[in-house]
Structure 1
Amino acid sequence: MAIQVPTTSEAVTERLQSLLQRARHVKPSTSIEPPLQVSELISGDGELLGPVSVGNEAQSNAVETAAKSIFYAQLGSSAIDDPSFVTIWDLLDILQYCGDRELCPAQLVLLLIEELLDSQSISGCRTVFSFLESRREALIAVINTSKNKDLVILRLCNELLRRLSRAEDPVFCGRVYIFMFQSFPLGDKSSVNLRGNFHVENVTTFEEYLREVAPDDAMQVDDGAPGSVQDSSHTTTDAQEDKATDRAAAKAAGSLAIDTLYPVFWSLQHSFSNPPRLFKEQHFEEFKKGLEATLAQFKEVPKLPQSAESEHKQEASVRSDDDDAFASTFNPKYLTSRDLFELELSDLAFQRHILVQALILIDFLLTLTEKGKNKPYYQNAQKAMQYTFTLREGDTEWALGIKNNIANYLQEGLDGKFYYRMVDTVLSRDKNWVRWKMENCQPFTRDRVATKDFLEAGSGADAERRRLADVASKRSAEFRFVSHRGAGKGVAKLKQAKRWSPPTVEDYSDKFKFKQMDLDFAQSEEEKRELEEGKTSHTWRGLRLASKDRLSALDRLEQGNGLEKLLQSSVEAGEEAASAGPEGRDSVPQERHQSVEEQRADQQSQVTAGNAAA
């Protein structure tokens, strides 16, 4: 009996190095793409790493040790932009192949990628992350079977996000978030804020409150002072008067002066980052006044779509892989300098950013109304997301009103309606997301039906189908006697033409006559009214049918005399009109005596004669 020699790390190292040398012929390219086809490296014995048993922990550790030794040696000898760095990409592809077949730990390839990200600058991390994105489907194929694998993905993405600046690398941050969303299922709780914590660490700092100098507090200058001082006093007084005039005009329009609005405006960020702060009445009143003043100021200042124009100008560069091209047009951290405040107020993109924050906060407040808190999903929510605060009726009306005003303002402009529709769609979906979170994140997916249950359900369906077929055959036997009746009875009676063919004008004319005869013998007023309604109904239905093929005969009718005139031919109508004397001839014009065919023939002859003359 042959004894299997345990695989040592030195033997595996030699095996991996020979595979990497062979990979240079299988994949001549030195770039990340395309991935290495590891199956083409398998030798004639059918073993990739030699005699390594599946699931053997000691041999798996030997493979891990050998892989790390080659990885660190290559990482220390070549830069990421060197052609020789392709050895690391090939090594990672080989380890991914081995991890899927339990020849090494499944999370080993991700652990090495994490080490690689830690060793690189931000520019190098972009290249490493491009490799990670290109192998995403292969990496997450067995993520559900390896709990350690998803933890490594979560850790390396979070560590990378901590290194990145959202102001300078917004596109790269977005790539990381998209990779995480694609790697984890939608119902995974790793990305859910179950306790509903707010981002209170996001503090917006701004300059101290700017105090307005009232005219009464201004320096008083003696009229007898020298001329230069008097001139300066007049200049100061004029400036104060202009400032007071501007302040009065702004207050009359419903907005505040710029210096007064500055601290009020930036104080709104305290509530945006920590909504429970508004549970105190004083803060809530300040928030209402500040938001109303901000919206009034937005409506007054001229709109300068500066950010939007710059985004359009650099749209081509943004679509390229140059992440730095977008950084100059987007800055998630506000610039709170007083010198820039007036320019920011005129920026349409800045206004929309602030107002969308207000809509999010208002939607949160509207969930705390008495009606909203009585909903079943709120009653069953976690204790951390159940607030004792209840929005009062007056505050609810204010919230609905200011929300409507913001919505109307956002819809102004050329692309306003499109922009608001996009925002409204996102907020509507966010409400469903919040509800799902409050219901303790019920799973979206269901377990697959077991094969045994599927077969049992199929056999039960077949049995039910046979039972229904038997019932149908019995019922058909019970009603079979109907077809054995004589002519004009049973089913044969239902097949008579008059039961399915449409009525004619003659039918409605006869019905009108019968109603007229019954009307002569009617006794009560209600019976007479019903008969009159029947006559009107039959007349209208007969006229509708006659309009299709007897349109020329409609002039013969007299109101209340039935439909008999429609049944007469044109010759009979002409003779009747001639016997009626001059009045009859006047009432029935000569051209009416012609049939429809004769009139069409006359028209055709006139057209022919006209063409010949031409």
Structure 2
Amino acid sequence: MAVFDQEPTPTDKIEARLHTLLNRARDVKQGSSIEPPLAISNLVQDGEHLALKVLDDADMQSNAFEVAAKRILYANLVSSEITDPSFVAVWNLLDIVQYCGDRNICSPQLVLLLIEELLDGLKIDGCKVVLTFLESRREAIIANSSQNKNLVILRSCNELLRRLSRAEDAVFCGRVYIFLFQSFPLGDKSSVNLRGNFHVENVTTFEDHLPTTDEQVDEMEIEHLEPESKEEVSEISKTDDVAVKPPELPRIVEKPLSTQDIHTLYPVFWSLQNAFSNPPSLFEEENFKHFQKSLEATLEKFKQVPLVATVASSADLDQNGGPDSPSDVNRDKLASTFNPKYLTSRDLFKLELSDLAFQRHILVQTLVLIDFLLTLTERSKSRPNYVNAQKAMQYAFTLGEEQTAWALGIKNTVANYLQDGPDGKFYYRMVDTVLSRDKNWVRWKMENCKPFTRDRVPTNDILEAKSGAEKEVKRKTVTKPFGISSSVGYLSNTAGGKGLAKLKVGRYIPPSVDSYGEKNKMIDLDLEMVTSEAEKRQLEGRKTSNTWRALRLASTDRLSSFDSLESGKGVERLFQPVTSIEAAAEDNAATDRDGRDGVPQEQHQSVEEQRAGETSQVTADTAAAE
């Protein structure tokens, strides 16, 4: 009995108060779903406080609150499943803890710690529901961001991703990654590979033995290196059928690509994964040549095999209805066809080659690697962003001219091939957009991740700028100079009464056409003695400007000379003086431009006189008849 006589601890008080708030929450939120969030203000009566802060010491208060919240959480996990309607008490508890964390009644990251406990104790289906809760409360959780919160989010999401299969739970993994990206700032370095390390641990395993039938041996021409000792023979005999790819590359004997069969291509094809996972291995000339031949053989085989589209196109999906129709099931299947790691069995290789999704998977890997190689050309390495990049992102290897031409050709071939098939245009546009944006991220990383955000402008600076702008646009009063008349009539009394008349005469005299001709002659002499390309471009620009100005002036009085101009041979013909014949031609042309369809002026005059005579004759005959 003495135990009940003891005074309740601070943890007990907080736990009792939380139970009271949860009981009220049942009446406030009638449903059992995650949405909408619990309205905490409705839990407190008029003039009442949460009264959850029972200790003055912040650390002791935080620890007591955490223990009390975990007691309630564990009790609900034991008594109910996540699919039960009573599990809404857990969502209400998390909302209350989030509210208290924003007001420093408990630690701000406590709600994330409780969610981490939930993720550790639930199955994958239950974790999907918890992630739905996180997505719905993300803005409220990250509103008051802190380093401790970010660490808990990163740790819990990484632990969840380790439990998931990227092949079977690709969509769920994508949701986790999207939540991470939305929770952290854009310029956060937590997930940036600053040193540019490659995932060399991603080793592809495949069968290292070859079929021994006579027909297949005739078609295959791959040589293997002979072991140097009996110990190596014994070690090779102990290996399994499926083993890690040997470090020695298979020697491909030159033969037409069209004659390579499935068994010949099998080791050649899967050896490409070594270059995809470790691109710096191509810096060695032998590895690069082997990669070239292997990739060319693979692309040729892709074009030969009949394609089987294992994924439905967008047109096929839309035949069953709109976005709210049962075709959403097909869309989920379309989104779940991604395979991060394909099976490398020899028996499946023929089927995989005909799979459109498999081909696209390999070709996208190729585009990523080719883009990496093209950043190592001599031209790319001379750009400022590469010269000023951190040392870890700079490589001593430089792609040669022949290798660059080959890389550009392969990239164009892959791009054209990806645009074929169902939704090929859309698929390639999506891939090209992602790779283009990825180049910007690589550049940002090479520049040591400069911050995106800018500091806020101080309030005093804004007020000073505002007041300065108001002073500049304020209407200024015009004051008359002392002792000077506002009229200009006094100029009529100066310079013999001609002062005002001189002001009315235009002082600008346009240059003549001949002056531009003389300028161009001097420029031609200067062009013969130029020493730099920049000076040559400057002189040619001045000559072009003078020629254009001369043509504009000549169009007023020398328009007939334009017929004698030849394209690209200068305009010296315009700079010659106008002869009397040309002047007469100009007068005739001006006279003919009267809108009479090109009929000469003399003919028009004779026609007018003839019509006037006919009119007078008709008038006379009419008068005589009367």
Same fold (TM over 0.5): yes
Relative to 1, partners in 2 of residues 1:110 and 1:536: Cα closer, same or farther, differing over 3 Å? Answer: farther
- Which residue identity is paired with 1:526? Q
Q: Deviations over 1:213-262 (max 9, x none)?
A: 678988xxxxxxxxxxxxxxxxxxxxxxxxxxxxxxx9545562221111
- Are residue 278 (structure 1) and residue 282 (structure 2) matched? yes
Deviation of residue 71 (structure 1)? Answer: 1.4
- Are residue 257 (structure 1) and residue 261 (structure 2) matched? yes
Q: Do 2:560 and 2:586's aligned partners in 1 also have CA atoms closer than 8 Å?
A: no
Separation (CA, whole Å) in 2 of partners of 1:541 and 1:133: 83
Match of 1:574 among 583, 587, 607: 607
Query: What residue is the counterpart of 1:223 in the other structure?
Result: none
Query: What residue is the counterpart of 2:171 in the other structure?
Result: 171
Higher helix residue share: 1
Match of 1:371 among 374, 379, 400: 379
Query: What residue is the counterpart of 2:370 in the other structure?
Result: 362
Separation (CA, whole Å) in 2 of partners of 1:43 and 1:119: 35
Query: What residue is the counterpart of 2:39 in the other structure?
Result: 37
Relative to 1, partners in 2 of residues 1:574 and 1:424: Cα closer, same or farther, differing over 3 Å? Answer: same
Q: Do 1:303 and 1:346's aligned partners in 2 also have CA atoms closer than 8 Å?
A: yes
Q: Do 2:312 and 2:334's aligned partners in 1 also have CA atoms closer than 8 Å?
A: no
1:77-156 counterparts in 2 under 5 A?
Answer: 77-143=79-145, 146-156=146-156
- Which residue identity is paired with 2:272? L
Query: What residue is the counterpart of 1:404 in the other structure?
Result: 412
1:132-281 counterparts in 2 under 5 A?
Answer: 132-143=134-145, 146-210=146-210, 251-252=255-256, 254=258, 256-281=260-285
1:323-402 counterparts in 2 under 5 A?
Answer: 325=333, 329-402=337-410
Separation (CA, whole Å) in 1 of partners of 2:255 and 2:606: 85
Query: What residue is the counterpart of 1:527 in the other structure?
Result: 577
Query: What residue is the counterpart of 1:70 in the other structure?
Result: 72
- Are residue 556 (structure 1) and residue 599 (structure 2) matched? yes
Deviation of residue 20 (structure 1)? Answer: 0.3
Q: Please, what TM-score do these two structures have when normalized by structure 1?
A: 0.72
Corresponding residue SS for 1:44: coil
Relative to 1, partners in 2 of residues 1:113 and 1:301: Cα closer, same or farther, differing over 3 Å? Answer: same
Q: Which structure 2 segments of 5+ residues have no match?
A: 1-6, 219-253, 493-499, 507-555, 562-573, 616-626
Task: Please give the root-mean-square deviation of Cα atoms over the aligned residues, in Å.
Answer: 4.2
Corresponding residue SS for 1:264: helix
Q: Do 2:311 and 2:334's aligned partners in 1 also have CA atoms closer than 8 Å?
A: no
Deviation of residue 573 (structure 1)? Answer: 6.1
Separation (CA, whole Å) in 2 of partners of 1:399 and 1:347: 25
Relative to 1, partners in 2 of residues 1:575 and 1:189: Cα closer, same or farther, differing over 3 Å? Answer: same
Relative to 1, partners in 2 of residues 1:526 and 1:37: Cα closer, same or farther, differing over 3 Å? Answer: same
Relative to 1, partners in 2 of residues 1:293 and 1:58: Cα closer, same or farther, differing over 3 Å? Answer: same
Relative to 1, partners in 2 of residues 1:151 and 1:93: Cα closer, same or farther, differing over 3 Å? Answer: same
Query: What residue is the counterpart of 1:23 in the other structure?
Result: 25
Separation (CA, whole Å) in 1 of partners of 2:488 and 2:55: 78
Relative to 1, partners in 2 of residues 1:367 and 1:14: Cα closer, same or farther, differing over 3 Å? Answer: same
1:415-564 counterparts in 2 under 5 A?
Answer: 415-465=423-473, 526-528=576-578, 532=582, 539=589, 543=593, 550=595, 553-557=596-600
Separation (CA, whole Å) in 1 of partners of 2:258 and 2:480: 82
Query: What residue is the counterpart of 1:500 in the other structure?
Result: none
Q: Do 2:81 and 2:87's aligned partners in 1 also have CA atoms closer than 8 Å?
A: yes
Separation (CA, whole Å) in 1 of partners of 2:588 and 2:107: 88
Q: Do 1:311 and 1:329's aligned partners in 2 also have CA atoms closer than 8 Å?
A: no
Deviation of residue 98 (structure 1)? Answer: 0.6
Deviation of residue 411 (structure 1)? Answer: 2.7
Q: Deviations over 1:131-160 (max 9, x none)?
A: 1111111111111xx210111111111111
Separation (CA, whole Å) in 2 of partners of 1:35 and 1:187: 30
Corresponding residue SS for 2:578: helix
Corresponding residue SS for 2:190: helix
Corresponding residue SS for 1:448: coil
Relative to 1, partners in 2 of residues 1:158 and 1:7: Cα closer, same or farther, differing over 3 Å? Answer: same
Q: Which structure 1 segments of 5+ residues have no match?
A: 219-249, 494-510, 517-523, 559-563, 591-614
- Which residue identity is paired with 1:208? D
Q: Which moved more, 1:262-271 or 1:208-217?
A: 208-217
Corresponding residue SS for 1:206: strand
1:52-63 counterparts in 2 under 5 A?
Answer: 52=54, 56-63=58-65
Q: Which moved more, 1:293-302 or 1:10-19?
A: 293-302
- Which residue identity is paired with 1:91? L
Separation (CA, whole Å) in 1 of partners of 2:456 and 2:115: 33
Deviation of residue 186 (structure 1)? Answer: 1.2
- Which residue identity is paired with 1:142? N
Separation (CA, whole Å) in 1 of partners of 2:103 and 2:194: 36
Q: Deviations over 1:418-454 (max 9, x none)?
A: 3322222221111111000100111111111111221
Relative to 1, partners in 2 of residues 1:578 and 1:453: Cα closer, same or farther, differing over 3 Å? Answer: closer
Deviation of residue 413 (structure 1)? Answer: 4.3
- Which residue identity is paired with 2:450? Q
Deviation of residue 514 (structure 1)? Answer: 13
Q: Do 2:480 and 2:486's aligned partners in 1 also have CA atoms closer than 8 Å?
A: no
Separation (CA, whole Å) in 2 of partners of 1:301 and 1:474: 92
Relative to 1, partners in 2 of residues 1:574 and 1:106: Cα closer, same or farther, differing over 3 Å? Answer: same
Corresponding residue SS for 1:554: coil
Identical pairs, percent: 59
Query: What residue is the counterpart of 1:295 in the other structure?
Result: 299
Q: Deviations over 1:259-292 (max 9, x none)?
A: 1111101110111111111111111111000011
Separation (CA, whole Å) in 2 of partners of 1:40 and 1:14: 19
Relative to 1, partners in 2 of residues 1:536 and 1:76: Cα closer, same or farther, differing over 3 Å? Answer: farther
Deviation of residue 26 (structure 1)? Answer: 0.5
Q: Do 2:38 and 2:92's aligned partners in 1 also have CA atoms closer than 8 Å?
A: yes
